[in-house]
Structure 1
Amino acid sequence: MNTARLVLPELLPTLSQFPATDLTPETLPDLRNALENRAAQAFQKAEDFQVTVEQRHIPATPEGDRTIRLLTVQPKETSSTPRPVLLHFHGGGHCAGRPEQNTAELCRFAQDLNCLVISPDYRLTPETPFPGGIEDAYATLCWIHDNADALNIRRDQIAVTGESAGGNLAAAICLLARDRNGPAILFQNLIYPMLDDRTIDNEANPSPVAGEFVWTRASNTYAWGILLAPSLPGADDISPYAAPSRASDLSGLPPVIMTIGSLDLFLEEDLLYAQRLIRSGVSVELEIVPGAFHAFDVTETPVAKRTLNRRITSMKRFFTPSRD
């Protein structure tokens, strides 16, 4: 079905900003190059904010045989009391991207929420399939918790956020932290998260209006295939830490803020996940953006700005001032 007539008019001109081809082994370098260029351009926007942007490396394992690069953003004004911290995971289908591609948003978060933002450069597929990325994410979470005093942040105010594949990691780390009795997570801000490996090319009942633009069923199938290798998408034994929708128990998870476009391939899996969370007693704030496709919010459109402002307002309600 041609769904261009359903696209929000202000978003139609922006479709040319996105790759028009499906993700394959041959086109993966193009996606990586595109996100590298976006990261380079976005990083220059940091000077528009009253923040300090730095890099640091932390141990990935107790043995210290490998490190994880972090991008950190915090308000320039020093604080005498500990701040909240927002742990961010970038998108890119698990196979492309780096934290710098979201520099402007991370700076907004740090400035408007008066928090420390940390975004790890986690390992990507196909070079490192599951569980490489989620273990990097969890190692970063534990490092933040263990170094809270040195970072001048509050252990009771650690939250996670991410878009697309980053939303997958944000949701998965909440499951993993719960099941490992790890650090407490205050809330999870999931932006069109990639949650279910069963939303693939051969899905039995695909939505006729979802996934025509930006992130297609074919791209999704390839991305899940290289993440789960040697397992196959749709197999019975897929871990919920790879595909959070596979989790049989969603109780005891942090509150959720979720944003998804009505034309996004992930709409139905995200709605089902939100429904299951609600039925499990988890607070869910859900925004469905009419006429929006995958990654619509990286555009300079009014709807993208409204959505970002709404997410910041929602997160601000959770982050409370430091106690004396």
Structure 2
Amino acid sequence: MSEPSITRRIDPQVHQGLNALHELTGPRGLVGFTIPRQRELYEEMNRAALAALPPNDRVEFEDLTVPGPAGAPDVAVRVYRPTGTRGTGPLPGILYIHGGGMITGSIATDHRQVLPLVEAIGAVVVSVEYRLAPEHPHPAPVEDCYAALLWMSGEASALGIDPGRLALYGGSAGGGLAAGVALLARDRGTPPLAFQMLPYPMLDDRNTTPSSHEITGIGIWDRAANLQGWQSLLGERAGTDEVDAYAAPARAEDLSGLPPTFLDVGELDLFRDENITFANRLMQAGVPVELHVYPGGIHAGELLAPDAELSARIVGYRTDALARALNTPPGTRR
């Protein structure tokens, strides 16, 4: 179980959201279930949260399939845009990569998160349905995401996207995949990226930082869950020298040439130390970085307690940074 001192440090409003999660899952959270059942529960919880939202006719979307990696199946994507913007001029483009520890999540689970993003930024957002581990270990997930980015860049004109304002957005496992995609785009020479938004990204399979040992038994992406996620993605390679930087971006020796980055993490998030280290290394490599560490914050706390004051600050900082990076003047946001 978690240390009582850690539990007491959680923001009280966020703690209420964590308690509500435990009422559905028990104190261990999703990690207490088999992976198939984790997927079912994750889908159910997000479906219920989406159903509670008011109707939104300000965003339109369509589901498509796009070419996958060489020799692999096509990739499903959901393309969002502000209603009424077709043919009105190029908009920023964002490739959105859902979280879920590499083992859960889908386009559907993150639908409720993408809708306000499209509205706030006034962008075309492509949400990608990458293959999940353990059925599809590395490099399948990151290569699926990169394939979606290549399609998005190649179809920029048809999609109404400005190819000079192309960004990545991924939280948790999605953040690790986004950072891996940014490395692939740099190393393969295409496409150019304007920005990467990385909320509490999953970056390091080695699990050796102080925070990776500190955050245990908390019932929301703690050490046991993280070990399960990495082992599902990498199998026996997890924690060994056989892991490449596209799977675990913290292992990249050279972080130069990556796009400007926003990174945030809670003080009580298992990813705290690896995220801070990654942000420092980006800055040392000459990459502009905006880093936020939230006292009392836990992993995905803004999703567990969307009405909390801390959650409002988190979402506000992200929206502002993304809008500034993509040169979306306030008067043109939807």
Tell me the TM-score normalised to structure 1 length: 0.92
Question: Given residue 228 of structure 1, which amino acid in structure 2 is its aligned partner?
Answer: L
Instruction: Note if 1:159 corresponds to 2:167.
Output: yes
Deviations, residues 242-288 of structure 1 (Å, cap 9, x unaligned): 00000000001001101100000000000000110111001110111
Instruction: Note if 1:9 corresponds to 2:12.
Output: yes
Deviations, residues 93-132 of structure 1 (Å, cap 9, x unaligned): 0000112222232111111211001111100011100000
Equivalent residues of 1:211, 1:217 under 8 A apart: yes
Offset at residue 38 of structure 1 (A): 3.0
Question: Given residue 155 of structure 1, which amino acid in structure 2 is its aligned partner?
Answer: P
**Unaligned segments of structure 2, at least 5 residues:** 330-334
Structure-2 separation of matches of 1:153 and 1:136 = 20
2:127 to 89, 114, 119: 119
Alignment: residue pair count: 317
SS at structure 1 position matched to 2:109: helix
- CA RMSD in angstroms comes to 2.0
* 4+ runs deviating over 4 angstroms: 22-26, 204-209
Tell me the TM-score normalised to structure 2 length: 0.89
Cα 1:88–1:141 change in 2 (3 A) is: same
Equivalent residues of 1:210, 1:267 under 8 A apart: no
Aligned-residue sequence identity (percent) comes to 35
Instruction: Note if 1:198 corresponds to 2:206.
Output: yes
Equivalent residues of 1:191, 1:259 under 8 A apart: yes
* Residue of structure 1 in register with 2:318 after alignment: 311
1:38 to 45, 68, 90: 45
* Residue of structure 1 in register with 2:105 after alignment: 97
Cα 1:316–1:221 change in 2 (3 A) is: same
Deviations, residues 161-213 of structure 1 (Å, cap 9, x unaligned): 111000001111001100111101111100100000011xxx37556643442
Structure-1 separation of matches of 2:31 and 2:314 = 31
Cα 1:205–1:4 change in 2 (3 A) is: closer
SS at structure 1 position matched to 2:55: helix
Equivalent residues of 1:211, 1:264 under 8 A apart: no
**Unaligned segments of structure 1, at least 5 residues:** none
* Residue of structure 2 in register with 1:279 after alignment: 284
Offset at residue 235 of structure 1 (A): 0.3
Cα 1:212–1:279 change in 2 (3 A) is: farther
Equivalent residues of 1:42, 1:103 under 8 A apart: no
SS at structure 1 position matched to 2:75: strand
Equivalent residues of 2:81, 2:125 under 8 A apart: yes
Question: Given residue 134 of structure 2, which amino acid in structure 1 is its aligned partner?
Answer: P
